[in-house]
């Protein structure tokens, strides 16, 4: 008979952790998942009573940046997730076994935990050439992904590859790279886009599922609201420069050196929903705009074809509209050109005033 898996609290006791440490850890996990303090009791209960949920992690057409981002998570730490919180039963990047032994580990979990395991997918699946553009163990990704989905409790599509096809789906999409939501139906599916997604966002999604045993609330494109309901533009610390009409005209010009808005250099922040402006990257160290490069919109479907990247967006939709890239394009064409125009006029007064102030400062140097 299989030994009963230990709960996380039992495991921590074995490792010599005190109850106080345990509750503290629950607090960190809760914070990582964006859970309110009042719900902390639920987190404690969940980790006291649950064995580690089995997770199978597939790689198809991808570059492994999602796995790399995942191991960058600082809260929780990835070692804590992999050793103490989940049972990562299949991961081509990290698992010790290879070849037949790896495949056996996978199939053991698919059978033994049917209906209970979490399936996470990194990469798109090519459907052209009868699946020959991506094969693992002699089987096509098309077959493998359907087999995994059949017994999955829920599916996470990691990154833009699995969520929207990403770079290999850019025109002309030579291999018919296809995202999960177009292939898998009838199962709970969470899209966590980005190239890659932020490490703490990935960890946060897992901890949310683990703690509450249900999906986080999703946007109309299937992304967790907690991380993908605000435009980068609306959470950008350089937004006041945009409102004031203060723009970098070239990289490394005087305005770029002052950290002015990168909109004229092609910033996609106005049409991109992601947590970069708030959660930031690598334990809050920075995010693309803070380090001087425009957002390229890597969490949006079709962003590779919304290029050249350094061409200024012609216009963009108004506030708080959640939309697909197609809708954004359509709305942008008719409605918001007007909005931006008005916005520019309204901010023009402030613009002149700020510039004057800046000039005064310069004179004093």
Partner 1 sequence: MATRVVVDPITRIEGHLRIEAEIKDGRIVDAYSSGTMVRGLEIILKGRDPRDAWAFTERACGVCTTVHALASVRTVENALGITVPPNAELVRNLMFAAQYMQDHVVHFYHLHALDWVDVVSALKADPKGTSEIARSISRWPKSSPKYFQDVQNRIKAFVASGQLGIFANAYWGHKAYKLPPEVNLLGVAHYLEALDWQREIVKVHAIFGGKNPHPNYLVGGVPCAINTEEVNAINIERLAEVGTLLDQAQTFVEQVYLPDLLAVASFYKDWGAIGGGLENYLAYGDLPTNGYGDPGRFKFQRGIVLGRNLNEVVPIDATDPGQIQEFISHSWYEYSDGDQAGKHPWVGETKLNYTGPKPPYEHLEVEQKYSWLKTPRWKGQPMEVGPLARMLVAYAAGNAEVREEVGAALKQLQVPVGALFSTLGRTAARGLETRLVARWAKEFYGQLLTNIKNGDSRTFDNAHWDPSTWPAEAKGVGLSEAPRGALAHWIVIKDGKIDNYQLVVPSTWNASPRDPKGQRSAYEAALLGTPVANPEQPVEILRTIHSFDPCIACAVHLYDESGSYRHQLDVF
Residues of span 253-272 touching partner 1 by CB under 8 A: 253, 256-259
Which pairing describes strands 125-126 and 177-178: parallel, antiparallel, or unpaired? antiparallel
Residues of span 130-169 touching partner 1 by CB under 8 A: 130-140, 143, 166-168
Phi/psi for 108 (5° steps) reads: -60, -45
Residue from the set 88, 183, 184, 206 that interacts with partner 1 by CB under 8 A: 88
Phi/psi for 153 (5° steps) reads: -75, -40
Q: What's the half-sphere exposure (Cβ side, CA atoms, 13 Å) at 174?
A: 5
Q: How far is the CB of 5 from partner 1 (least distance, A)?
A: 5
- The residue range among 73-81, 184-192, 216-224, 320-328 that interacts with partner 1, by the rule CB under 8 A, is 73-81
Q: How far is the CB of 348 from partner 1 (least distance, A)?
A: 22
Determine, following the binding rule CB under 8 A, whether residue 274 of this chain makes contact with partner 1. Answer: no
Burial of 334 by CB count in 10 Å (0-12 exposed, 13-18 middle, 19+ buried)?
exposed
Determine, following the binding rule CB under 8 A, whether residue 229 of this chain makes contact with partner 1. Answer: no
Specify the DSSP class assigned to residue 80: H
Q: How far is the CB of 350 from partner 1 (least distance, A)?
A: 18
Residue from the set 64, 323, 324, 347 that interacts with partner 1 by CB under 8 A: 64
Give the span between the Cα atoms of 354 and 137, in whole angstroms. 62
| Smaller CB separation from partner 1, 76 or 317 | 76
> What tokens does 32 get?
């990582």
Contact 168, 177 (CB under 8 A): yes
| Smaller CB separation from partner 1, 217 or 254 | 254
Residue from the set 83, 278, 331, 335 that interacts with partner 1 by CB under 8 A: 83
CA 195, 201, 206: angle at the middle one, nearest 5? Answer: 115
- The residue range among 24-32, 38-46, 89-97, 181-189 that interacts with partner 1, by the rule CB under 8 A, is 89-97
Residue from the set 18, 24, 146, 250 that interacts with partner 1 by CB under 8 A: 250
């Amino acid at each position: 008979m299989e030994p009963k898996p230990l709960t996380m609290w039992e495991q921590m006791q074995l490792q010599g952790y005190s109850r106080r440490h345990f509750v503290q850890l629950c607090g960190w996990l809760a914070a990582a998942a964006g859970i309110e303090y009042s719900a902390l009791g639920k987190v404690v209960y969940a980790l006291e009573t649950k064995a580690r949920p089995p997770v199978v992690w597939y790689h198809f057409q991808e570059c492994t940046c999602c796995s790399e981002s995942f191991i960058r998570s600082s809260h929780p730490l990835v070692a804590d997730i992999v050793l103490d919180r989940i049972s990562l039963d299949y991961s081509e990047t990290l698992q010790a076994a290879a070849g037949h032994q790896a495949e056996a580990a996978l199939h053991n979990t698919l059978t033994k935990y049917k209906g209970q395991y979490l399936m996470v997918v990194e990469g798109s699946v090519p459907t052209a050439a009868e699946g020959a553009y991506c094969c693992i163990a002699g089987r096509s990704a098309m077959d493998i992904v359907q087999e995994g989905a059949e017994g999955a409790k829920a599916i996470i599509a990691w990154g833009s590859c699995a969520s929207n096809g990403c770079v290999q789906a850019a025109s002309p999409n030579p291999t018919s790279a296809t995202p999960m939501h177009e292939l898998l139906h009838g199962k709970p599916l969470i899209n966590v886009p980005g190239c890659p997604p932020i490490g703490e966002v990935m960890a946060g999604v897992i901890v949310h599922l683990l703690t509450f045993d249900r999906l986080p609330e999703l946007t109309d494109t299937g992304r967790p609201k907690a991380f993908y309901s605000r435009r980068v533009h609306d959470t950008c610390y350089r937004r006041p420069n945009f409102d004031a009409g203060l723009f970098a005209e070239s990289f490394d010009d005087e305005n770029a050196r002052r950290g002015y808005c990168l909109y004229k250099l092609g910033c996609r922040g106005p049409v991109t929903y992601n947590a970069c402006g708030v959660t930031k990257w690598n334990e809050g160290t920075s995010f693309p705009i803070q380090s001087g490069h425009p957002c390229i919109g890597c969490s949006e479907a079709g962003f590779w074809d919304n290029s050249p990247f350094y061409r200024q967006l012609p216009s963009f939709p108004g506030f708080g509209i959640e939309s697909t890239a197609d809708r954004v394009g359509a709305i942008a064409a008719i409605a918001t050109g007007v909005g931006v125009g008005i916005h520019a006029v309204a901010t023009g007064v402030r613009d002149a005033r700020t510039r004057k102030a800046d000039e005064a400062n310069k004179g004093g140097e």
